[in-house]
Homo-oligomer: A and B are copies of this chain.
């Protein structure tokens, strides 16, 4: 078995955590004789932008398309506006490759404490399915009357039946495989009166295709509050692009922080490469200090293995992470420890060899 990975370390702590991710990948190859991951490292980041005036080469997407998988660190630097760095790299990848599922587990690892007083790892274990190609992140819109008191900006949220059905179908199919078969869908149809009632209608339709799955539809404001008050009631949460984005950062916060939160940008039909990345950004404030937590990046590799239908390898990586966390001896500062990024990465690698 051989897979080719396009590796985009990116900016800030991106390359730091990516180093550890790649070490883990090597350990996995060595632990598992029969499998190879070739890597092509791309230097596409904000520095590249400052030099070349673009975030990636003109044929960047073509280059990526020749790979089976994409592994991303983090993108963003103070010198480049986010809506440039993101809109010229991450978002085009998600969209051109129809990575319409952004899968984000919210899972408290054993040994870690949730900031929520009465919640333990038994209460915090669900997954958010975030729509990843349309909705509130559309580049449709613009400005008028610039430089006058009447200036205004309009942004169009675009929800298609096609895009909405496919993300909901994915969520319901996932829930079918879970113990309680429950889908929680985020809406805001009381305040947002065109797109969200449309979303609700399609939730209704798809739910009828899955009579054995229980559906809860909550307004995003209430749902955000429920993440705090009753996270144990969720199994599969499905949300639009923006709502999913907000819920997953919140999800990361309640399970110990962004340093731990992975994500998979999946093209379920496997026509295009899928992309695996931490939820966290490039964190310029701690970049260069060697203290970033590499777990989110390593965890994203475990999600990659799931995507490749290699459950034993996925479990090998997850177990290594869980053991290191539970032993609690080698942790980065965000988890209350004193270890460096590299030390934590090495410890995970050591546990992979241990099996």
Residues of A bordering B, CB below 8 Å: 76, 81-83, 85-87, 91, 113-118, 136-137, 139, 141-143, 148-162, 188-199, 219-222, 224-229, 241-242, 245-246, 248-250, 252-254, 257-258, 281
> Which of B193, B250, B254 is in CB contact (< 8 Å) with A83?
B193
Q: Given A113-B117, A118-B115 in contact, is the A87-B222 Cβ separation under 8 Å?
A: no
Q: Does B117 contact A114, Cβ atoms closer than 8 Å?
A: yes
> Which of B115, B139, B157 is in CB contact (< 8 Å) with A157?
B157
Q: Does B152 contact A225, Cβ atoms closer than 8 Å?
A: no
Residues of B within 8 A of A83 (CB): 189-191, 193, 196-197
Q: Does A242 contact B115, Cβ atoms closer than 8 Å?
A: no
Q: Does A192 contact B250, Cβ atoms closer than 8 Å?
A: no
Q: Does A87 contact B193, Cβ atoms closer than 8 Å?
A: yes
- In Å, the complex CA distance between A148 and B199 comes to 15
Report the minimum CB–CB distance from A192 to chain B (whole Å): 6
Q: Does B191 contact A241, Cβ atoms closer than 8 Å?
A: yes
Known interface pairs A154-B194, A191-B241; 15 further A-B residue pairs with C-beta atoms within 8 A, sorted by A's residue number: A83-B190, A91-B191, A113-B117, A114-B117, A117-B117, A136-B157, A143-B198, A149-B161, A150-B161, A155-B192, A155-B193, A220-B246, A224-B249, A228-B253, A229-B257
- Most chain B beta-carbon contacts within 10 A, residue among A150, A159, A281: A159
Closest to A139 in B: B193
By Cβ-Cβ distance, the 8 closest A-B pairs, closest first, are: A82-B190, A141-B194, A221-B249, A153-B198, A225-B253, A155-B195, A151-B161, A228-B253
Report the minimum CB–CB distance from A246 to chain B (whole Å): 5
Q: Given A115-B118, A151-B161, A152-B159 in contact, is the A221-B193 Cβ separation under 8 Å?
A: no
Q: Does B192 contact A136, Cβ atoms closer than 8 Å?
A: yes
Residues of B within 8 A of A160 (CB): 150-152
- In Å, the complex CA distance between A115 and B193 comes to 33
Q: Does B254 contact A228, Cβ atoms closer than 8 Å?
A: yes
- In Å, the complex CA distance between A249 and B118 comes to 19
A-B contact pairs, 23 of them (CB 8 A): A82-B190, A86-B191, A91-B191, A115-B118, A117-B117, A139-B193, A141-B193, A141-B195, A154-B157, A154-B194, A155-B157, A155-B194, A156-B156, A191-B242, A220-B246, A221-B245, A221-B250, A222-B249, A222-B281, A224-B224, A224-B253, A228-B250, A228-B254
Q: Does B249 contact A225, Cβ atoms closer than 8 Å?
A: yes
- In Å, the complex CA distance between A81 and B193 comes to 10
Residues of B within 8 A of A225 (CB): 249-250, 252-253, 258
Residues of B within 8 A of A188 (CB): 242, 245
Q: Does B245 contact A191, Cβ atoms closer than 8 Å?
A: yes
Residues of B within 8 A of A194 (CB): 139, 141-143, 153-155
Closest to A86 in B: B190
Report the minimum CB–CB distance from A31 to chain B (whole Å): 34
